[in-house]
Structure 1
Amino acid sequence: MRDAVRATPGAWPLAQVAAVVGRTCRIADLAELTGQRVAQLLGAVDALLAADVLEWAGDDLRFRHERVWTAVLDAMPRALRDALTADCARLPAGRVAADRSADELTRSLALVRGALARPGAARHADDLHGLLANLLLLQGDATAARAAAERVLAASGRPADEAAGTRLAALALAGDRRAEALAEALLTTDGGAGVSAGVAALVLADLRWRRGAVAEALRLLRRHESPAPHWRLWQRLALADKLGSLRRLDEAHALLRATRDDLGPRQRDCYEGCVDIVEAAVLLVAGRLDDAAALAERGLAATRDAGVLLLVPHALAVLAAVALRTGDVDRAATLLAETVPGHALRSTLHDWVSLLVTARRYGPERTAAAAASTGSVLLLAEPAAAAWLVRTATAADDPDLARRVVTATERLAAANPAVPTVAAAAAHARALLDRDAAGLAAVAHTDPWAAALARRDLADLGEPAESHQAWDSFSGVERAIARLVAEGMTNRQIATRVRLSPHTVNYHLRGLFRRLGISSRAELVRHVPAMA
């Protein structure tokens, strides 16, 4: 696209200015920002129109396609974009701030930068730079957020505690190794009750969690709740996400309900989409695929409208997981390939679903190679991952990987004796590695989250099982679905009866087929009378 407009002098720079103004802009504003008369811009405008970059929308110019608009923005160096945004903030009547094509966060940044550029702003510079740092952090611009926060800290004024927390969060978001030492120092600030101490607890909880220290991570999030509402929200979202990973779903849902109730009107516009995304991940764990997908879509749309993109990869991972479970591997891969400008929060679910897609597309050898650097956080957050990785390593003829996974999971279980999902994952992975039928049967009977996979692994070992024993191991929902299939009902009719989505009914049916070693509804019908 850039090459197509370079032939006309000024066309590409004008496209860049127009992109910063917004998807829709007035030609008079472009003239003012470029310091030219409208007549001097006509050649460049004509070139952009001819190249289908811009089009007329009434009296305004508009980027013909949103992807073209975002491509122009992405191609610009951040320093240039920030400088142009500051210029735009000085347009009469705050036209950029009123531009509906920009997200809320971008408009807010333009307002703050505009305020900093006005005469007399020095009196409020610390407050404005503190606000700017927070907004930049929400946008994922960790480098600029840190710089703005350090400017406040250099003044040592009233907002220093908040700025110290923002600086720490920016370092952690960028993966800076200094974040841990700084967080430990800040945790003692004001007796652990200040804003920066709350951020420190949030950062340390994430680091402890990724190293497998579950109890310590949960303790930090619960004991050092921030006095600042926006930081307290992020602490609660982090806690709810971890509770969901541990399959403590009732606690996670209760915390998310309380978080929604505490959102003020201004916070609701900015953060409710983030709550939606975390809740969608919890619903995914519960097997409520349609509900998870709907909430992830809603959260994704809301966070993009707000410009708060930190959890976008997590939302995309939920949608990809649902697509994968319903057999749409291509859609799952497309969702996972979407990128977010700047930094985003790390999503273990995104890593997990990426491995699943790799396995479906490229087979066990390539998956085993991709999983070689898997850390303990995946084994902790996804209890099915350990056994799945052992199964994949075995198929790829990589016994070293299988042994490493089992050893890491057993070490994780020993360090967290109060976490039953990790203990079951370790027992499952060990039994699978050792081809221990008795161990797999024990997992199938003691852990509801691993039962289906353990029964499948038991069947793969060729262990005989009587039909009535299999029936006894099925959940109430599975028995109900099997009986309704025997009555001749379709998946949609069954879904209405058992109050699940058709996708979830199909998911349960595939599990029944696998565990019984059958491949059709007719075969299932023959099993039901004997089992029921």
Structure 2
Amino acid sequence: MSSAEGMVGREVELALAAAAVHDLSEGRASALVIEGEAGIGKTRLVECVVDDARSRRVAVYGGQAHPFERSRPFGVVAAALGLSRRSPDPRRAAIGELLAGRGLGAPASAAGDIQYRVVEEIVDLVESTCSESPVLLVAEDIHWADSASLLTILSVARQLPLAALLVVVTARPSPQPAQLERLLADLAAGGARTLRLQPLSSEEVAALAREVLGASPGPALTAMLAKAGGNPLWAVAMVRSLADEGLLRRIGDIVDVTTSELPASLGDLVVRRLRDLPPATLELLQVTAVLGDAVSLRDVAAVTGRPPAQVVGQLSHAFDAQLLDEADERVVFRHQLVHDAIYQHVPPPARRLLHREAAVVLMAGGADRLDVADHLILGAERGDEQAAAWLRDAAREASAQAPSVTVELMRRAEALLPGGHREADLVSAELVQALLRAGKVAEASTRAQTVLARHHATEVDTPLRVALVGALALQNRAAELVAVVQASLAGSARLQPSDQVLMLAQQSWALTYTGDPRAGEASAGQGLAIAEQASDPAMTVWALTALMVAVGRQGRFGEALTHARRAALLAADSPDTRSLPLQPKFFLGLALFDCDLVGEARAAYRDALDDEFGAGWWLSETLMADAQASFAIGEWDDAVPGLIAGGQAAQEKGNPLLVSQSLAYRAIIATAVGDHRAASELTAGIAASLDGDQLSYNAGVLAFAVAGLRAAEGDQQAAYDLLLRCWRFDAARESRFYHRCLAPDLVRLGLALGHRDVAAEVAGAVAKGVALAPEVPTVQSLALRCQGMVDGEVEPMLQAVSLARQAPLLVEHAGACEDAARLLAQGGRRDESAALLTEALERYEQAGADAWAGRVRGRLRALGVRPGSRGSRHRPAGGWESLTTTEQAVSRLVAEGLTNGAVARRLYISPHTVNTHLRHVFAKLGVSNRVALAAVVHHAIE
């Protein structure tokens, strides 16, 4: 690296950085985190990385966070990638439109997933750029970055692990905001290497001084340099300052100092230099420091009211004093420590006044509120109503792109209002809404309760109650939610019909998911009546969706589907429903799936993913539902990547219930293929949730996963106890949703362990469910199967098999075949038994369920039947033929040059899922980049 000349004591870090750039030039992705205190050499190391990358024809994109720009959403990333409405590149200009709040195509109330859309667009832009040449993406000083930028950096690194991309970030070790700590932890978990720059040793400081002076430092100078504490910036500044002031002398081959006094810090040294500047230059320099560490001369001129030419001339002295530099048409301080020293030298009252004046002048000149919000935050004092109003307006601008930024702006606006201000309650209500949108639900509920508990403005009562209900729902605080709803509905304040419906729908979900679906149904029905009377399509969709969930949990699947179809049709015909944080097509898919209409369900999920309105709200749920559908029909090669992607999306969204479902289904697959070690690791993450007094609403599938592993390991009693506990829990709450998961194994294990009474009880309960959903084949099949096992009668079991064949569900179909085959064998009907076992074997082999297939093979051998060779499901270990159908489809699209996002949209999956497929493809084909993959694809399809 040519720019490495003059870098002392960083040989190890330079070598690691060079290795990362070399890997990048060969198409391999990685990430570097460079940590260290101010002045330790982070920027110099980045310069070396950039120079090396450019020498290898790598495309370099870099941005730097600034201390007074934290309220600008996507600031660092936008600067690095040139995301501006004025960009000549249409894609960058389009993203710039999104960042400016334009081009959203959706009403403001639906803007909750605009941040998600922006992030996905940026990820896709970076990936498409990587397809043209390797890319180095640098984000410096991310300890000052806004939350949206941090999210984007993480998403780029996480979603593009197979692109020719090197992500480099720099940060100070402390203090680090919580969001930055999470980003660095996630990057490390993804394989990022952290380079922590330590202070230089005394020998290295001496070597650095020797490079600057052209001679070795003498003993007195060496002792003085020890005050730098190994900080190279301070050491170099010390040497240069001594030289500029004529305090060094050469004695033979060494240079020594003629004074024993020197400022104790770099800041003091900068302040000493300020004394030599003309007053006009010092004044301008202080204004420049208040404006930021990288400032437009035009802004300096505007704030000071001086002609630009005069500003340039007066600042020339600061350039001569090596305090300022130029970069990208901006005035920049030579180092952040230089900026900090000058900024801190301005008395605090003067700093506040300058920040306030800067905000006024810049906004009068047409600057965006978000670009000057930090100046308002730093310059306004309590009682500044105008500043509070500006910050509230800025918060509204940021709400779509960066909810977390909105929260901080609203906090400051609230703090500026004097006590008892007429709009204090309104601002508090706006802050509660911002907290809720930013996912800070616990604080949102606490603040809402605080305001509601005291005397407050009438106009904020209903918005606060609605927000409180939403926050309590997200925290699963059902009892409190119901209490708030009941008090609100019975209160003196008149609620609008839409508010009543919203509250009743939230109450319905709370009651349903905490074990009282009948009460949930009543609440949803009440809301539906109000919505229909008011002829409000959006609220009717809310109520119908809640009603669908409530009746579905009770096992009335056909009725739930009717409600879901109506909600989806109503939403399609009513544009105002787009303002809802709901996705009716997703809920329609759930209802279709529960009725065994798996193909239609997956089409509904695809429609939901296609729909730009609300897609972000329900992304993780939709991905998980589609992956579960793949599992259910035995397409496990697709199910596993989908489950992993759904789990990742749920983790990002903070949805632990979906994370546990991802683990459960993957554990079931691991058990079925015979990988008990993997199954144990997966169930370790969910077993604890099955131990408490209260079980989660998805406990049925979790229990099915854990019990299946216990039974496979030979502990039938543990499996039985767990299934029975979940069964009792659901039965007490009249929930039939997980009957198909729990009942067959519970009946079989109950009979095997001598608990015939329990088996009969379960079979009887399942039989009653047929009347609630007579049109669903697997519901009928389940009842016949369970009763047949209890009674030992073959004919009901054969009817169960016939019904199970009408649905594409693997576990239900093959399980019915196995149970019927057992009774047939006991009755001496060996040929019929073997035929059903062979039918089950084919389904298991197609899915790759080797352990379950092995169990069936054993039973066939016991009947004297020697199963044939394994089916075509078992592919070669490597080469094109080893790829699954989906992997081949992904490979073809990637070979055409499509990005992960484009492939995901084409195949109705997610970029996460595409990544997982590509990892498998690269491993099977023995390739390391997309170019090599394209060559394999072209050869295979010739």
Following TM superposition, by how much is the alpha carbon of 1:255 offset from its aligned partner in structure 2, in angstroms?
0.7
Over aligned residues, Cα RMSD in angstroms? Answer: 5.0
Q: Which residue of 2 aligns with 1:217?
A: 560
Is the 8 Å Cα contact of residues 202 and 220 (structure 1) preserved in structure 2?
yes
1:407 aligns with 2:764: yes
Q: Quote the residue 2:857 is aligned against.
A: 513
- 2:160 matched to 1:160? no
**Residue identity in the other structure for 1:244:** F
Q: In the TM superposition, what is the alpha-carbon distance from 1:419 to its structure 2 partner?
A: 1.6
Note if 1:297 corresponds to 2:644: yes
Q: Give unmatched runs, 5+ long, in structure 1.
A: 1-23, 30-55, 71-89, 96-103, 482-499
One-letter amino acid matched to 2:645: R
Between Structure 1 and Structure 2, the one with more helix by share is 1
Q: 2:658 aligns with which of 289, 306, 311?
A: 311
Query: What's the counterpart of residue 590 of structure 2?
Result: 241
SS of match in other structure, 1:212:
coil
Q: Is the 8 A contact 1:245 1:382 kept in 2?
A: no
Whether 1:183 aligns to 2:535 is: no
Answering whether residue 504 of structure 2 is matched by residue 504 of structure 1, we say no
Q: Distance in 1 between matches of 2:702 and 2:376?
A: 43
Deviation at 1:476, TM superposition (A): 11
Contact 1:140 1:344 in 2 (8 A): no
1:207 aligns with 2:569: no
1:453 is aligned to 2:794: no
* Of 144-153 and 207-216, the range deviating more from structure 2: 144-153
Deviation of residue 425 (structure 1)? 0.9
Give the C-alpha shift of residue 413 in structure 1.
Answer: 1.2
Mapped partners of 1:455, 1:444: distance in 2: 6
Report the TM-score when normalising by structure 1.
Answer: 0.64
Report the residue type matching 2:683 in the other structure: A
Name the stretch that deviates more: 447-456 or 404-413.
Answer: 447-456
Deviations 1:410-459 (A, max 9, x none): 11113322121111111111111111133333433453254533443344
Q: Return 504-513 or 434-443, whichever deviates more.
A: 504-513
Pair 93,58 (structure 1): closer, same or farther in 2 beyond 3 Å = farther
Contact 2:860–2:866, Cα closer than 8 Å, also in 1: no
Q: Which of these residues, 392, 395, 398, is aligned with residue 749 of structure 2?
A: 392
Which one of the candidate residues 793, 797, 815 is aligned to 1:440? 797
| Cα 1:353–1:115 shift into 2, 3 Å | same
Q: Which residue matches 1:375?
A: 730
Conserved 8 A contact 1:380-1:422? no
Distance (Å, rounded) in 2 between the aligned partners of 1:406 and 1:365: 19
Superposed displacement of residue 300, structure 1: 1.6
Assess if the C-alpha contact under 8 Å between 2:711 and 2:719 holds in 1: yes
In structure 2, relative to structure 1, the CA distance for the partners of 1:170 and 1:255 (3 Å cut) is closer
- Cα deviation per residue 1:155-199 (whole Å; 9 max; x = unaligned)? 957983685367536744873866554333211123174544433
Give the Cα separation in 2 of the matches to 1:357 and 1:378: 24
The answer (yes or no) to whether the contact 1:105–1:308 under 8 Å persists in 2 is: no
Q: Secondary structure at the match of 1:407?
A: helix
User: Could you tell me how far apart the structure 1 residues matched to 2:766 and 2:616 are?
Assistant: 41
Residues 820 and 833 in structure 2, CA contact (< 8 A), matched pair in contact too? no
Distance in 1, matches of 2:729 and 2:477, equals 28
Partner of 2:848, secondary structure, is: helix
Cα shift at 1:365: 3.2
CA displacement 1:51-77 (0-9 Å, x = unmatched): xxxxx964445699969999xxxxxxx
Tell whether 2:692 aligns with 1:350: no
> d(CA) in 1 for partners of 2:844 and 2:664?
31
Q: Does structure 2 conserve the Cα–Cα contact (< 8 Å) formed by 1:280 and 1:318? A: no
Shift, 1:129, TM fit: 4.1
Q: List per-residue Cα deviations over 1:64-109 (Å, max 9, x = no partner).
A: 9969999xxxxxxxxxxxxxxxxxxx988999xxxxxxxx999735
Q: What residue in structure 1 maps to residue 403 of structure 2?
A: 108
Alignment of 1:60-99 (within 5 A): 60-61=174-175
Change (3 A) 1:274 1:456: closer
Q: Specify the alignment match of 1:84 in structure 2.
A: none
Q: Any idea what SS the aligned residue of 2:525 has?
A: helix
CA gap 1:314/1:480 in 2 versus in 1, 3 angstroms: closer
C-alpha distance in 1 between matches for 2:814 and 2:525: 42
Q: Hey, what's the Cα distance between the residues in 1 that align with 2:793 and 2:400? A: 55
CA distance in 1: counterparts of 2:400 and 2:822, whole angstroms: 53
1:507 Cα offset (Å): 5.8
- CA shift at 1:330, angstroms? 0.7
Letter in 1 for 2:787: R
**Per-residue CA distance 1:353-382 (angstroms, 9 max, x = gap):** 244345446733344333150536876545
Counterpart position of 2:673: 326
Q: Which runs of 5+ in 2 are unaligned?
A: 1-140, 147-169, 187-372, 379-398, 418-422, 442-469, 872-942
What does the per-residue CA deviation read over 1:206-264, in whole Å, with 9 as the maximum and x for residues that have no partner?
22222222222222222245654475745443432343243211111111111111134
Deviation (angstroms), 1:526: 8.8
| Contact 1:236/1:259, CA 8 A, preserved across alignment | yes
Distance 1:143 1:65 in 2: 29
**Do 1:325 and 1:507's aligned partners in 2 also have CA atoms closer than 8 Å?**
yes
Q: In 2, are the aligned partners of 1:161 and 1:196 still within 8 Å (CA)?
A: no
Measure how far apart 1:204 and its partner are: 2.7
Distance 1:251 1:57, change over 3 A: same
Deviation digits for residues 250-283 of structure 1, max 9, x if unmatched? 111111111111134xx44443222111111111
Instruction: Determine if contact 2:548/2:559 at 8 Å carries over to the other structure.
Output: yes
Q: In structure 2, do the counterparts of structure 1 residues 432 and 524 end up closer, same or farther at CA, with 3 Å as the change threshold?
A: same
Letter in 2 for 1:510: G
User: Aligned-pair distance for 1:292?
Assistant: 1.2
Q: Highest CA radius of gyration, 1 or 2? A: 2
SS at match of 1:263: coil
Alpha carbons 1:25, 1:60 under 8 Å: kept: no
Rounded Cα–Cα distance in structure 2 between residues aligned with 1:162 and 1:479:
46
Determine if contact 1:320/1:332 at 8 Å carries over to the other structure.
yes
Task: Name the CA distance, whole Å, in 2 between partners of 1:271 and 1:469.
Answer: 45
Q: Does the C-alpha gap of structure 1 residues 170 and 468 become closer, same or farther in structure 2, counting only changes over 3 Å?
A: closer
Q: Distance in 2 between matches of 1:460 and 1:476?
A: 12
- Could you tell me how far 1:299 is from its partner in structure 2? 1.5
1:438 counterpart letter in structure 2: E
Specify the code of the residue in structure 1 equivalent to 2:765: A
8 Å CA contact 1:378, 1:385 repeated in 2: no
2:90 corresponds to: none
Q: What does 1:460-479 correspond to in 2, within 5 Å?
A: 460-461=822-823, 462-465=826-829, 470-471=834-835, 474-475=838-839, 478=842
Number of matched pairs:
427
Secondary structure of the structure 2 residue equivalent to 1:188: helix
Give yes or no for contact 2:763–2:787 (8 Å, CA) kept in 1: yes
For residues 229 and 472 of structure 1, what CA distance do their matches in structure 2 show?
A: 49
Letter in 2 for 1:164: M
Aligned position for 1:492: none
In structure 2, the partner of 1:81 is none
Q: Given the superposition, is the C-alpha separation of residues 368 and 408 from structure 1 closer, same or farther in structure 2, using an over 3 Å criterion?
A: same
